[in-house]
Structure 1
């Protein structure tokens, strides 16, 4: 720590020359993880209730440890949201101490209070995850709802439907993809979404609205209690524009395949809840079927879905980064994949799309930024809150927390609330190769971008890489490195006085252990948490965007790209007996500076393209870096590795 993968830049570039793209088809379907049961919500609840009073007390004790002594955002959350989760836990603890087996509350009430306490901090990194049988159960409806705008009106439609066998036999034929939903259990749909979102964690209004919409039809019970109602009544407009209704019971699903354990190779920033919702949806709406029905025409390479899009403003590349979670963890292959994708796309403009990306490994996000800008990348620094327990972690688990030890020890004298700020990702790694794409870039975000996606968007903005186009007013605003309670338990496993204890019956917790700070000229040192990354421009999603592969969104992004400057700096090198010959193919470049093995060797004005520059006195060269300027401003960089 900071994470520093020993990756050879020359090896990555060489590996990227061998390119075999995959296709998004049948092979992309995940193994079945969920199966529908015959249980109703009420029948499932009747089977739940196995936690003893002592086990409930143990859960509260561990929650107090995490929130009071490890939680990086506690001072911010108390100030910004006016909450006191630690006091609420103490009150719950006192109530449990007054109870006995005969007077204990129903188990679901205990879970409801725990979820309410954790949700009060509006942080999807800091979670209470319910034990068995909730942990392996989900409630879902066999359709999804998305929002769009039409003639200035905010509307909602059914965007996907699952197999018809999952619907009641009396489901109207008129209920299908594309119908506009007007009411949810008699409540106007917009109001129902916001009321639902207020129950769940979300760092800002846009995030809460987006979470409320997603949880309207999909609720993994490890994160949510079962719905209060056993069925929902959906009012929608049929093809004739007349109101119709569907009464749909909640489906209760059981998980058959355990999720993979989180990787310890690198710090993570991830939306666990979002990952689980995506897992449920992957069962109900298999990617292979979605791809077959979609006009989008993506190719899949690793975590990247990419295509070429033709708009009225030109032809551009479109890359959806679906996740920053690497499985298996292979940062070298991740970088190679992105280089391959960039090489296959037009150079006139790139639309990077991280909508609904739940995050993953922080290094997987930050290491991609270098390919898009001539500026050196500064990874976001992280801080820990100064507490005796966090200092103990730094002393006993130096590989993970050691770099923060010195500043935490000094806090006894300085009174500082936070430790020093140290990057989780190696500066060397995020600058190992440098820029490879010289065209303009637009980044598309929404309020479901979270954690590593927030960090990626913040880095994009702070390094002035391009324009951010948002389909909502903010990102999810998750600015932290998250750890599981089991990670901390393991970190102090050899400490006889450790406060961490195993949680009962598969219960779990996660906590934001380090907060992330931004690095821009005007944002340097600003916390990412809760504030998020606001877009420079807003796009209102249309019906065509939701149902037909985002054509209007692509047109909007294309107009932005068409108005941005376009540069080109292609470099060829030849090493002679005592000279280096550099061939340049440029656009809008009027000067180049040439570095050989990190030493400045030549500066030349560019009056035509292509052109050739001779660098005398060079008999060997492992790395040639060419910096391109336009009217005195650095606008493009190309690095060639000859080793």
Structure 2
């Protein structure tokens, strides 16, 4: 088992690694600026919605003397408020996580937020479990989180605050800079009416090796999943670290659809990215399915695994929980919608390109041909975006369809493919949406890695060179649109609203979502068989 005292002090890295040399800085600015200007699907919306000009900011950074280059570059990326579009720093930061060895979670009592220590990692015991934290380095904890929230990539305030709490004690250094302090002092209520304090330094360790977002390959060999990604990689990295820490540093549950069965205290079973079981409601037991990620290379197998699980659970009522789900394969999320739609053929959120000469050329690739005609007409129509098409085939689904009424549980960390899923769930009238926040994370895009973009662009005569060695870039290439009565509204920055909000209680935090599931079960018991959006 990993001991936190054996991991290096983060302070030891200060001054040990220099900013990249001038040629690397220039290449990073040039490549990112070219990608944003010519391919980035949200550029007009981000300029209008957040009053920013990232292209000009990159021009100024390229012409600067390089002082604080990495900080300024990551700040430009963060200003997009787009958790899809991420720059991954080169080693040694690529697989490194900065952490303090505990986790804080938030609950509400009479509308007032409270923050308690719910987990400790790697043998750390200096702060008692369950204590309420009042200050972080002398700053009231709520105020500290508000300040941290402004530096996140959240599209709205709820998402910014959730992200700030998510990365309060765990910070993947591939995507964010080191904390400014060398140690953390927590002040907490000691349970006897007084206050106590404890200090611990920031430490760092290497994460388990992460698979590349998509390896370099020819277009013919490129799997469908490489072009159908919708994923917040920083949130995925945070979750991977927390799962590994919970297992004592021995490696957590894998992200595939298989995996060992692990029972929890509540009687739920965890299998790969799923947790499932029964929840009592006033109308009888309901099925419960939590999906931690939609990340999979095989969407059909993912859907088949869920169908097999649902078939073993109550068929009258179903709670689907996608809180803190960072997304994954868009095809997997949309195939699940079809499993829940009864005998209907659901409308799936379509996606479109921004109209530019580069996307016009890109869509001459056979698999992107449906978008080409409308982009080619841009010179005469003046439209900024192409036609929108669904990318999900329903030909390979299992025969099973869930027959009962349903409710979906979301929060502001439900992102990307989870946003797609929540939008399709709502727009097809599949059930009611219960939120522990008012909105999903508002990530409405299909994201491509630099390798996918450069491979496909190279095929059509637009050579895009590699990034500097060790760096990675993921970019929103196609945006998602709502269907039904919300047809045409983008998901990006808007999100999917909850019909009912339940603020998490102390019992939810300490006793496996006890009040949330009771609340959701009661709501579901009162719902008609199909909720009409």
Give the TM-score normalised by the residue count of structure 1.
Answer: 0.76
Partner in structure 2 of residue 513 of structure 1: 477
d(CA) in 1 for partners of 2:185, 2:15 = 23
SS in 2 for 1:412: helix
SS in 2 for 1:78: helix
The C-alpha deviation readout for 1:234-285, integer Å capped at 9, x for no partner, is: 1111232421111111111123524344374221101111111112212222
- Contact 1:202–1:476 under 8 Å retained in 2: yes
Partner in structure 2 of residue 159 of structure 1: 118
Partner in structure 1 of residue 243 of structure 2: 282
d(CA) in 2 for partners of 1:320, 1:145 = 21
Partner in structure 2 of residue 552 of structure 1: 515
- Contact 2:307–2:400 under 8 Å retained in 1: no
Partner in structure 2 of residue 181 of structure 1: 133
Matches within 5 A, 1:29-40: 38-40=7-9
- Contact 1:370–1:435 under 8 Å retained in 2: no
| 2:266 counterpart (278, 296, 299) | 296
Partner in structure 2 of residue 316 of structure 1: 286
| 2:75 counterpart (98, 103, 116) | 116
Partner in structure 2 of residue 417 of structure 1: 384
Partner in structure 2 of residue 69 of structure 1: 38
d(CA) in 1 for partners of 2:2, 2:467 = 24
Partner in structure 2 of residue 29 of structure 1: none
- Contact 2:263–2:270 under 8 Å retained in 1: no
d(CA) in 2 for partners of 1:371, 1:293 = 25
d(CA) in 2 for partners of 1:65, 1:182 = 46
Q: Identify the range of structure 1 (340-349 vs 51-60) with the bigger mean alpha-carbon deviation.
A: 340-349
Partner in structure 2 of residue 359 of structure 1: 327
Matches within 5 A, 1:167-316: 171=126, 175-255=127-207, 257-262=209-214, 264-266=223-225, 267-286=228-247, 294-312=264-282, 314-316=284-286
Deviation (angstroms), 1:385: 0.5
SS in 1 for 2:404: coil
Deviation (angstroms), 1:481: 0.1
User: Structure 1 or 2: larger strand share?
Assistant: 1
- Contact 2:274–2:289 under 8 Å retained in 1: yes
Partner in structure 2 of residue 541 of structure 1: 504
Partner in structure 1 of residue 465 of structure 2: 501
Partner in structure 1 of residue 432 of structure 2: 467
Deviation (angstroms), 1:149: 1.1
d(CA) in 2 for partners of 1:376, 1:216 = 42
SS in 1 for 2:144: helix
Q: Identify the range of structure 1 (252-261 vs 147-156) with the bigger mean alpha-carbon deviation.
A: 252-261
d(CA) in 2 for partners of 1:485, 1:566 = 45
Partner in structure 2 of residue 88 of structure 1: 57
Partner in structure 1 of residue 16 of structure 2: 47
- Contact 1:34–1:283 under 8 Å retained in 2: no
Deviation (angstroms), 1:423: 1.2
| 1:456 counterpart (421, 442, 462) | 421
Q: Identify the range of structure 1 (245-254 vs 258-267) with the bigger mean alpha-carbon deviation.
A: 258-267
- Contact 1:143–1:159 under 8 Å retained in 2: yes
d(CA) in 2 for partners of 1:299, 1:542 = 23
d(CA) in 2 for partners of 1:283, 1:330 = 24
- The answer to whether the aligner puts 1:139 opposite 2:87 as a matched pair is no
d(CA) in 2 for partners of 1:300, 1:152 = 32
Number of residue equivalences: 511
**Structure 1 residues 497 and 184: CA distance shift in structure 2, 3 A:** same
Partner in structure 1 of residue 87 of structure 2: 128
Deviation (angstroms), 1:496: 6.1
Deviation (angstroms), 1:363: 0.7
The C-alpha deviation readout for 1:615-639, integer Å capped at 9, x for no partner, is: xxxxxxxxxxxxxxxxxx99xxxxx
d(CA) in 1 for partners of 2:418, 2:149 = 21
Deviation (angstroms), 1:388: 1.2
Deviation (angstroms), 1:491: 1.6
Let me know the Cα RMSD of the aligned residues. 2.4
SS in 2 for 1:531: coil
Q: Identify the range of structure 1 (536-545 vs 184-193) with the bigger mean alpha-carbon deviation.
A: 184-193
- Contact 1:373–1:435 under 8 Å retained in 2: no
The C-alpha deviation readout for 1:319-362, integer Å capped at 9, x for no partner, is: 00111111xx2333222211221111112311100001111100
d(CA) in 1 for partners of 2:480, 2:138 = 42
Give the TM-score normalised by the residue count of structure 2.
Answer: 0.91
d(CA) in 1 for partners of 2:22, 2:63 = 12
- The answer to whether the aligner puts 1:528 opposite 2:491 as a matched pair is yes
**Structure 1 residues 177 and 387: CA distance shift in structure 2, 3 A:** same
Partner in structure 1 of residue 257 of structure 2: none
- Contact 1:33–1:255 under 8 Å retained in 2: no
Deviation (angstroms), 1:315: 1.5
- The answer to whether the aligner puts 1:339 opposite 2:304 as a matched pair is no
Partner in structure 2 of residue 13 of structure 1: none
SS in 2 for 1:229: coil
**Structure 1 residues 528 and 36: CA distance shift in structure 2, 3 A:** farther
